[in-house]
Amino acid sequence: EIVAAVERAFGGGPLAGRRVLVTSGPTHEPIDPVRYIANRSSGAQGTAIARALADLGAEVVFVTGPAEVSPPPGVEVVAVETAEEMRAAVHDALPVDGAVFAAAVADWRVANASGSKMKKTAGALPELELTQNPDILAEIAGLGSDRPALVVGFAAETDDVVANATAKRRRKGCDWLLANDVSPATGIMGGTENRITFITEDGAEDWPREGKDAVARRLAGMMAEALA
């Protein structure tokens, strides 16, 4: 940690001169001014990745939803709440050399969100109309001239991890996909560890179950090699 801080202070490290983007945390999708749809992402994995990349000398833009974990020091923080805001912040951050999409972006938002607090009226139940949120990972992976050289996605799977994640990587068009098994039995979601299945066009590789910091350092090291 001290070596990394010294290297960073002197502008060293294998990612010196590289600009990378990391998204992290959940998004909150409003129902009305006081209610919203959320998800259980703590932001721990994305925060660890941003820290590990900064430790290797990268200039990090950290686009984060409302996470429990505080952003790491030494990165440019862009705080957002909704998927639409995250998408805009990501486009604003371009161009970057590498991009890691670790945020748990809500798949859906409420199309008929109310500008004033919905009242509880006896017997009446509000109908929430959901609509698809933008797929930020697929959008950035599919860019032409502005596409980052290395695009990394995450996939939270609950079953058939390798098959589902392999198909997802192809569908999204990203270079690497880090799939984790979030079925409740694993205790991964909201926990301190991760067990990653690492998917590239060459196939799938199981990483050991390890702390989120260790996963982050492993990924950051591989990114440094790929962007060298």
The three-state secondary structure class of 21 is strand
Q: Which residues contact 98 (CB under 8 A, 6 or more apart)?
A: 18, 20, 21, 58, 148, 149, 150, 151, 152, 223, 226, 227
Binders in 62-121 for a second copy, by CB under 8 A: 104, 106-108, 116-118, 120
Site for a second copy in 144-173 (CB under 8 A): 156, 158
CA–CA separation, 157 and 141 (whole Å):
20
Select 156 or 222, whichever has its Cβ closest to a second copy: 156
Judged by CB under 8 A, the residue of 3, 5, 10, 40 near a second copy is: 40
Neighbour count for residue 14 (Cβ, 10 Å): 17
Would you say 95 or 191 has its CB closer to a second copy?
191
Please report how close the Cβ of residue 190 comes to a second copy at its closest, in angstroms: 9
Applying CB under 8 A, the site for a second copy has a residue count of 32
Closest CA to 180 of 102, 108, 106, 71: 102
Beta bridge partners of 204: 199
Q: Is 125 in the site for a second copy (CB under 8 A)?
A: yes
CB 224 within 8 A of CB 191: no
Provide the angle, in degrees to the nearest 10, between the axes of the packed helices 44-55 and 2-9. 60
Task: Figure out which of the listed residues 14, 74, 126, 134 binds a second copy, where binding follows CB under 8 A.
Answer: 126
**Which CB sits closer to a second copy, 9 or 34?**
34
Look up 180 and say whether it is catalytic: no
Which residues are near a second copy by CB under 8 A?
28, 31, 33-41, 104, 106-108, 116-118, 120, 125-128, 130-132, 156, 158, 182-184, 189
Point out the residues that are catalytic.
39
